[in-house]
Structure 1
Amino acid sequence: MFFAPVVRSRAGVPAFRSLDREFERFVNEAFHGGRQASPRVAQDDKAWTVTLDLPGVAREDLAVSIEGAVVRIETRAEAPRQYKAAYELPQEIDVEATSAKLENGVLTLTLAKQQPASKARRIEVK
């Protein structure tokens, strides 16, 4: 077998990301029997609301992290029920205005959309 590393350019990154997600879905379904909980997503002008069923997961065992437009949800290694997933949204998330609530085995994330800041500046004409 011949192995040749692939050098990714910035132009091809979004296409590779979708292939990576498809491959990850395939592997999860093949090895975990498709038991991965699928989130329900609702959207309005200011935020996304993501609802995910996580029965048997305690609040103390759950960690949610946000980096740019990616949300990562995972449990501690010692937790009785293991869960690990990452979801990429089409727009960056405002971490300061985001909230998470776990109630009766249902995790509800309210992910505020990051408002694009204008970088335009005025200069004086001499």
Structure 2
Amino acid sequence: MFFAPIVRTRAAAPAFRSCDRHFERFVNEALLSSAPFGAKSGFQLEQDDKAWTITLDVPGLAKEDLNIAIEGPVVRIASKAEAKRQFKAAYELPQDIDATTSAAKLENGVLTLTLGKKVPVSNEVQIPIN
């Protein structure tokens, strides 16, 4: 699974996103073929049935210097303007993120985000047959 730090609006056609993801995957596999994804960039992604775990290297930043925002399937991480070091990233996941079950931890310059997967709600309604 591949997640590019490129954020598009929901108005963008899904076909364009698919092409972008295929191209990004091709380029990253070509550049990072000798190491697993993220080994050179300080980014690691793992997932299970209930959550994604994103690990990022952010040396030189304290927890007071970071803002983390979740909007639908997008998580945005940015340092505050007064921080010693500037950092900005956004990641789009394939499913909406449940902010109530998500958590962040910063330890020794490593930011660990545990992002809960939002369970899709079915709007299906059964109607009787007359």
Output the TM-score relative to the length of structure 2: 0.70
Between the aligned residues of both structures, percent identity stands at 50
Matched, 1:102 2:106: yes
| 2:17 pairs with 1:14 | yes
Structure number with bigger Rg: 1
Matched residue SS, 1:121: coil
Aligned residue identity for 1:47: A
Deviation per residue, 1:44-75 (Å, 9 max, x gap): 11101111111110111100111111111100
Partner of residue 118, structure 2: 114
Q: 1:21 to 1:65 in 2, by over 3 A?
A: farther
How do 1:1-126 and structure 2 match up within 5 A? 10=13, 12-15=15-18, 17-18=20-21, 37-126=41-130
Q: How many angstroms apart in 2 are the aligned matches of 1:17 and 1:77?
A: 31
Q: SS at 2:98's partner residue?
A: strand
- TM-score w.r.t. the length of structure 1 is 0.72
Q: State the distance in 2 between where 1:94 and 1:51 align.
A: 18
Query: Is there any run of 5+ residues in structure 1 with no aligned partner, and where?
Result: 1-7, 26-35
Task: Point out the more displaced range, 106-115 or 11-20.
Answer: 11-20
Q: By how many angstroms is 1:104 displaced?
A: 1.6
Gaps of 5+ in 2: 1-10, 29-39
Q: How many residues were matched structurally?
A: 107
Q: How big is the shift at 1:122? A: 2.1
Relative contact order (C-alpha < 8 Å, sep 6+): which is higher? 2
More helix per residue: 1 or 2?
1
